[in-house]
Structure 1
Amino acid sequence: QSTVSYQSSKLKSVCDAKICATVPLSVGQQGIWIDDELSNHTNAKYNIEATYEITDDRITVKFLTEAIQLLVNRHHSLRTVFDRNEHGEIVQIVKPLLVDTVNDTPVLVLHALPIEASIDSELTRFLCQKFDLNKPKPFFVSHFITVTGRPRVLCMIFHHVIVDGWSIAVLIRELNQILQAFIDKKDPSEGLAPVHCQFHQYVANLNPKMWDADIAYWKEKLSNGAMNFACLPSDHQTDSDISGATFVRDIPPVLVHLLQSSCQSIDATPFMILLAMFDVLLARCTTCWGDIVVAAPVFNRPYSEIENTVGLFVNVLLMRVDLSADPTFYELMINVKRTVLEAFEHQESPLTHVTSQLEHLERDSHIPQLFQVLFAYQNVGEIVSTNLLHKIPVTNPIAKCDLEVHVWENKQGALSIHAQYRKKVFKASTIERLIDQWMLLLDAAS
């Protein structure tokens, strides 16, 4: 999921050409498609959920169906499928919208549960459903749950190949606007921000040469010597089991206030300080006080034309920080700040495209994926809930990598840590101890 927003000063349009019905996959989509093929479509690790309690009794099934249908009509990614063209290449195709269905699949699936039923178990079941990228079916489904005497719940499941975290924010914001319009008996299309560019249109106009400057930067940044990809010692012998668990902890308000004060005094963002102390934590755990490399997702929407576009734009940046000289806190912050700002300036080239250009990239041979640890700062708290839709937290039973640490910032500025890990790699006590040690480092830095 995406972490740090970045606004480019570039105003170049990438969406001037006519919309094509069939276009190649983006580099990010290709990576997901290949990984899905290798797993033989047997897991649901790329599923993204958006689960909400309906807080207004005036919202009917008819309202929800029509609202979701309008979203599908506006955003072509929601009715995009994959197929092979005459040359045998995988391409994405936008399918027409039929009344109440996308390719004969209902836009809203109804579930009337008995009073003794568990909503949580139903939500987990929805999240674990598998999408087959080789079948011409939409890569999302919406479930509406009613339980006698209990709140109604909307659970939307998306395959990551068509959306990212920013896209979910766009969809929930628009869904709320449309439902409010239905309640007020107004035209639901009024007030919706224009969609200047569809995702497949954006992909059709991408030119890899536009990434040349980014590639040159990353070659220099990542090719100079061996790097430590923060390979934490595991508690168990690693295997292919990707079942996960999540450890959640709120950062104490006093510590949040101290972090905010530190940010102001050294002209840094919370992400920078949190990342710096996370690097120190990993260096201690891996006993490697040299280069530390942590993967960090970024929204990667530098053009105004794609601000309201639903699609897979998110990219992953490799934040490389040198700790070999045993820097002071301020020296470390200068290094991290420079690293983060430079990475954001060169964020557009997809990670797989960057690594394919590197002749030699040293990492732990026991870790099959490029990185083991991902660190994310989620500062999109304003989309967690709306006046009509209240976000319901759902624990994802599948971990995409060995350890993902997400720091969430809500509307009030409070911070909470969500550490998702693979249970076949780490014990729960190990993750809790890591977070405890990180809190101590943050307290010392503040």
Structure 2
Amino acid sequence: SEEIHRAFDLEQGPLIRTRLIRVSADEHVCLLTQHHIVSDGWSIGVLIHELNQLYRAFSAGQGDPLAPLAIQYPDYAHWQRQWLSGERLAAQAAYWKQQLADVPVLLELPTDRVRPIRQSFAGASVPVRLDPALSTSLKHLSQQHGVTLFMTLLAAWSSVLSRLSGQDDLVIGSPSANRQHPQIESLIGFFVNTLALRIDMSGTPTVIELLERVRRTVLDAQVHQDLPFEQVVEIVQPPRQMGHPPIFQVMLVWQNNEIGDLALPGLQVAPLDLAWDSVKYDIELQLGERDGCIEGALSYATALFDEATVQRHRDYLLATLRAMVADAQQAVPRIPMLGDAERMLLLETWNRTEAAYPQDHCIHQLFEAQAQRSPDALAIIYGEERLSYAELN
């Protein structure tokens, strides 16, 4: 925990730290901490692949088995500055300026606590797992309608967020690997860019219609994914507040890069599970596919939400996904999201109207109003009827 929370010095470095903790003679914990500025999610897979090769070679007394890098990150940075200029830069900037014009300042999700004036990054998470049957059905639904699995999940997540917030214009952030060129696929570095996906939930779109809307939005954003998100914010100039990030406050992360496992000769290696205790946005949905199941986590800002609330949000998402695969012709805003227990709680337990008739209390009010002869007497509520002053007499 100390290692994870120890800050980096971006001016002096190092930006990668390693610590080996000896637990016993034959048990160790190896910690590798990297600042995000030098490494992204894709980089972890590259790192593990190279570490496997290096460890095998060195344990066998061999030399470095890795081929020299054809290009390095500074080469990419130089190319990016040259390529993203002139007409290309203008076209990218024009797209995002138009796409995010008059974007809502905040996604008004119902929270358990008032949003703090300054954003808190304390977080927690709840697991999300789609069983094999639902995962397979979602793949079939995506194939039938010419969309990716990510687009289908984004459509369902957009529906849940729209119904929770009551807004039909919402923006969801999503990272893009941004490694379009084969030469940079084997590099460790920060290439990822964040796309602001503006989803139109207006009207009563069917599942098929919403999938098509999401498809167009995602494809257009990917065509214009080269402009760094920081520059997008500068171009859009949204109102800035210390209590939440600009443009969007909710993320959807689809992990489709193969990280792989450490396979080191003579060692039994297992990952160390650590509690999730930080989050950059109000809610971050992170999903990927593993062993035929879609699974991940729903992370949330603990300053805003209770765990029980986020668990309900997760259940709404699962209910929406099941409904989408059951009937793609149905209107998305009419998909039932509530489970049986919550439906009974809202519609019956909290909505019971039977009560003892408060006769004595009402009579007392009538006598008081008569005695005071005030204008208030004209507005006495008797059950659900308004009685005039003459009727009171």
TM-score normalised by length of structure 2: 0.75
Rg larger for = 2
Structure number with the higher helix fraction is 2
Q: Do the aligned residues in 1 keep the contact of 2:111 with 2:304 (CA within 8 Å)? A: yes
Q: Does 1:198 align with 2:54?
A: no
413-422 or 234-243: which moved more? Answer: 234-243
2:8 to 131, 136, 161: 131
- Mapping 1:173-212, distance limit 5 Å: 173-189=49-65, 192=66, 194-205=68-79, 206-207=81-82, 208-209=84-85, 210-212=88-90
Relative CO higher for 1 or 2, CA cutoff 8 Å, sep ≥ 6?
1
Displacement of 1:202: 2.0
Whole-angstrom distance in 1 between the partners of 2:239 and 2:204: 23
Q: Deviation string for 1:188-210 (max 9, x for gaps)?
A: 32xx3552222223223413414
SS in 1 for 2:38: coil
Whole-angstrom distance in 1 between the partners of 2:178 and 2:89: 13
Whole-angstrom distance in 2 between the partners of 1:280 and 1:363: 26
Residue aligning to 1:350: 228
Q: Deviation string for 1:295-354 (max 9, x for gaps)?
A: 001111122221122221111101111111221110100111111111111111001112
Displacement of 1:152: 2.5
Cα distance change, pair 150–262 in 1 and its aligned pair in 2 (3 A): farther
Q: Deviation string for 1:108-148 (max 9, x for gaps)?
A: xxxxxxxxxxxxxxxx22211111223x1211101222212
SS in 2 for 1:357: helix
| Aligned residue-pair number | 315
Q: Which amino acid aligns with 1:419?
A: L
Residue aligning to 2:42: 166
Q: Does 1:432 align with 2:306?
A: no
Q: Do the aligned residues in 1 keep the contact of 2:105 with 2:238 (CA within 8 Å)? A: no
Whole-angstrom distance in 2 between the partners of 1:185 and 1:275: 49
Whole-angstrom distance in 1 between the partners of 2:280 and 2:67: 33
Kindly report the root-mean-square deviation, in angstroms, between the aligned alpha carbons of the 2 structures: 2.2
Q: Do the aligned residues in 2 keep the contact of 1:294 with 1:373 (CA within 8 Å)? A: yes
Q: Do the aligned residues in 2 keep the contact of 1:127 with 1:396 (CA within 8 Å)? A: no
Cα distance change, pair 215–159 in 1 and its aligned pair in 2 (3 A): same
Q: Deviation string for 1:356-389 (max 9, x for gaps)?
A: 122x546889534442111111012x31423235
SS in 2 for 1:415: strand
Q: Do the aligned residues in 2 keep the contact of 1:226 with 1:362 (CA within 8 Å)? A: no
Q: Which amino acid aligns with 1:220?
A: Q
Whole-angstrom distance in 2 between the partners of 1:416 and 1:328: 26
Q: Does 1:265 align with 2:123?
A: no
Cα distance change, pair 332–220 in 1 and its aligned pair in 2 (3 A): same
SS in 1 for 2:48: helix
Q: Which amino acid aligns with 1:199?
A: Y
Q: Deviation string for 1:242-295 (max 9, x for gaps)?
A: 22112112211221111111122112211110000000000001011x222100
Whole-angstrom distance in 2 between the partners of 1:403 and 1:138: 31
Unaligned runs of 5+ in 2: 326-393
Cα distance change, pair 434–386 in 1 and its aligned pair in 2 (3 A): same
Q: Which amino acid aligns with 1:186?
A: Q
Q: Do the aligned residues in 1 keep the contact of 2:233 with 2:246 (CA within 8 Å)? A: no
Residue aligning to 2:127: 248
2:249 to 372, 375, 400: 372
Whole-angstrom distance in 2 between the partners of 1:406 and 1:129: 25
- Mapping 1:47-446, distance limit 5 Å: 124-134=1-11, 136-148=12-24, 151-189=27-65, 192=66, 194-205=68-79, 206-207=81-82, 208-209=84-85, 210-223=88-101, 225-227=102-104, 229-239=106-116, 240-288=119-167, 290-358=168-236, 361=238, 367-380=244-257, 382-388=258-264, 389-410=269-290, 412-446=291-325
Q: Which amino acid aligns with 1:377?
A: W
Displacement of 1:355: 2.2
Whole-angstrom distance in 2 between the partners of 1:281 and 1:363: 26
Q: Which amino acid aligns with 1:167?
A: S
Cα distance change, pair 150–428 in 1 and its aligned pair in 2 (3 A): farther
Q: Do the aligned residues in 1 keep the contact of 2:172 with 2:198 (CA within 8 Å)? A: yes
Residue aligning to 2:347: none
Q: Do the aligned residues in 1 keep the contact of 2:238 with 2:247 (CA within 8 Å)? A: no
Whole-angstrom distance in 2 between the partners of 1:226 and 1:307: 34
Displacement of 1:149: 7.2
Whole-angstrom distance in 2 between the partners of 1:365 and 1:138: 29
Whole-angstrom distance in 2 between the partners of 1:229 and 1:294: 11
Q: Do the aligned residues in 1 keep the contact of 2:152 with 2:211 (CA within 8 Å)? A: yes
Whole-angstrom distance in 2 between the partners of 1:402 and 1:188: 45
Q: Do the aligned residues in 2 keep the contact of 1:378 with 1:406 (CA within 8 Å)? A: yes
